[in-house]
Amino acid sequence: MKAPARAHPLWIAYIVHRLSGVALAAFLPLHFWVLAMAVSEPGRLDGFLAMTEATAVKFAEFGLVFLLAVHMFGGLRLLALEWLPWRPAQKSLAAGAAALSFLIAGAFFLQAV
Amino acid sequence: MPTGVLNVTIDRDGGAERFEVPAYDNQTVLDVVSWVQQHADPTLSYRFACRVGMCGSCAMMVNDVPRWTCRTHVSKVTDGADIHIGPLRNLPVIKDLAVDMDPFFDKWIAAEGVHHGALTRDDPIARVDAVSVGRVEANAGIECINCSVCYAACDTVTGNADYLGPAALQRAWTLLNDAKDEARQDILDAVSGSGGCHNCHSMGSCTAYCPNDLDPMSAIAGLKRETAKNFFRRGR
């Protein structure tokens, strides 16, 4: 038996929150590895940072900022849903969280390129 | 007069079986299943009673969505002529479309979803303020017909067999807010265990598919708040 239709906003908000969390967790070791270069191999770090001028890296950064934004606002949405007295405008909150994430990630992207 | 033919696939014990069922302008999914049982295969097993959305016994998976079949018009589930009907998800199948509801009702009890009264018939009838906050919360959930659509829709139930599920937790929330219920602490203990309300990921499928437009997800959010408050109060 297939799972029931999940094409409703709350389920999509749920899965976006989970996947962005997993993706961010997977990124963390790389992040710390690069940061550690500042102490162990400063020369190599400069070379690494020069790469951030490349368009492909800019796109990757856009993705990263989007993941951070979508995860943060998805988390705030959950906190509001579970800790504040229930409001029926929840679907709007979920949609708003996604829209705001796009706005922030988009603004960052425009500034970067 | 039939207006065409519906291609109906029904999940049965031996695998999916196809039936051609006459289509009518005004036809529910339960009508389709009943036609198959009455005209094509009398061995088809399914469950229904009231046919008017009161008893909660006819829920099935229709095109992969859990629905009360007696109040679901065929035109609501398909634009064409293909309908796929199966037994409710997350419950053991007895035969064909009939599922064993025992786990569902056992969890209802496990969540303390029973009335805990303190008065006897000799006491005066308790006065309840119809517009108090608690009563409004309790009223929001009392129209549950135990159809198990929310339970079948819930991915958390699929992933955790011990999870009490949306219906039982909503019942617990209703009783927690009922001024006549005397077992507040028992309910909070029952819903804060390993299979309790904190398993809920707020996916919202229960609320999205409840045929009576109830909102179990919000009821569970209420339980999360109350159990957390209770935990910190006890800790002090």
> Rounded to whole angstroms, what are the CA distances from B173 to A70, B135, B150?
31, 11, 16
Sequence-distant (6+) residues with CB within 8 A of A68 are A24
Decide if B203 touches A, using CB distance below 8 A. Answer: yes
Rounded to a whole number, what is the distance in Å from the CA of A70 to chain B's nearest CA?
A: 16
Judge whether B4-99 and B102-234 match in fold. no
**pLDDT value at A31 more than 70:** yes
Mutation pick from A10, A91, A92 vs chain B, by most beta carbons of B within 10 Å, is A10
Across residues A6-16, what is the average pLDDT? 90
> Rounded to whole angstroms, what are the CA distances from B133 to A22, B117, B156?
39, 20, 29
Q: Which helix (H) or strand (E) holds B10?
A: strand B4-12
CATH architecture for segment(s) B102-234: Orthogonal Bundle (1.10)
Locate the chain B residue with the closest alpha carbon to A80.
B221
> Using a CB-CB distance cutoff of 8 angstroms, which residues of chain B are in contact with residue A14?
201-204
Of B65, B87, B225, the CB nearest to A4: B65
Residue A101: predicted pLDDT: 87
Residue A1: predicted pLDDT: 47
Across residues B41-57, what is the average pLDDT? 96
Residue A85: predicted pLDDT: 66
Residue B190: predicted pLDDT: 96
> Rounded to whole angstroms, what are the CA distances from B38 to A24, A38, A82, B35?
56, 77, 48, 5
Decide if B155 touches A, using CB distance below 8 A. Answer: yes
Decide if A26 touches B, using CB distance below 8 A. Answer: no
For the packed helices B133-141 and B166-176, what is the interaxial angle rounded to 10 degrees?
A: 150
Residue B135: predicted pLDDT: 93
How many CB pairs below 8 Å do chains A and B form together? 59
> Using a CB-CB distance cutoff of 8 angstroms, which residues of chain B are in contact with residue A16?
none
Cα-based angle B87, B92, B93 (whole degrees, multiple of 5): 45
Using 50, 70 and 90 to split pLDDT, how confident is the model at A81?
confident
Residue B78: predicted pLDDT: 87
Burial B61-75 (b: 16+ CB within 10 A, else e): bbbebbbbbbbbebe
- pTM of the full predicted structure? 0.86
DSSP state at residue A50: H
> Using a CB-CB distance cutoff of 8 angstroms, which residues of chain A are in contact with residue B61?
1, 4
Query: Taking all residues of chain B, what is their mean pLDDT, rounded to a whole number?
Result: 94
User: How confident is the model over B99-121, as pLDDT tens digits?
Assistant: 999 999 999 999 999 999 988 99
Q: Which of A78-87, A89-98, B55-64 has the highest mean predicted lDDT (pLDDT)?
A: B55-64
- DSSP for B63-113, please give it: TTEEEEGGG-BHHHH-SSSEEEEEPPTTS-EEETTEE--HHHHHHHHHTT-
> Using a CB-CB distance cutoff of 8 angstroms, which residues of chain A are in contact with residue B205?
4, 6, 8, 10-11
User: How confident is the model over B198-235, as pLDDT tens digits?
Assistant: 999 999 999 999 999 999 999 999 999 999 999 988 76
**pLDDT value at A94 more than 90:** no
Decide if A11 touches B, using CB distance below 8 A. Answer: yes
Which residue, among A57, A81, A65, has the nearest Cα to A20 in the 3D structure? A65
Domain ranges of chain B: 4-99, 102-234
**pLDDT value at B126 more than 90:** no
Domain B4-99 has CATH 3.10.20.30: yes
User: How confident is the model over B74-94, as pLDDT tens digits?
Assistant: 999 987 889 999 999 999 999
CA distance B223 to B215: 13
